[in-house]
Amino acid sequence: MAEAKANFPTIPVPELMDMIGDVYNNCTFFRAQWENYEIATGLNEKTDKIHLATLLTVMGPARHTR
């Protein structure tokens, strides 16, 4: 039997975190987008492993910035 799937709109991931220019405001903006994304997608209810892997992927190259 085929599994029923809900018809939810695709929720776009947050924009990549920008580490150029006003880094503080860029990070604040990214965090707000990320927190909304977590709630909208139900990611906040997933395991820590899935949560972290998704966050690192969404952060893009900025995750390597020190």
Q: Letter for the amino acid at 45?
A: E
What are the helix (H) ranges across 1-66? 23-41, 48-59
Contact 18, 26 (CB under 8 A): yes
The domain spans of the chain are 23-64
- For residue range 1-48, what is the model confidence (pLDDT) as tens digits? 556 556 556 889 898 888 889 999 999 999 999 999 999 999 999 999
Residue 4 has phi, psi (to 5 degrees) of -75, 135
Q: What predicted TM-score, i.e. pTM, was given to this entire model?
A: 0.75
Other Cβ atoms within 10 Å of 60 Cβ, number: 15
Instruction: Copy the structure tokens of residue 8.
Output: 């939810």
As a whole number of angstroms, the distance between CA 28 and CA 61 comes to 17
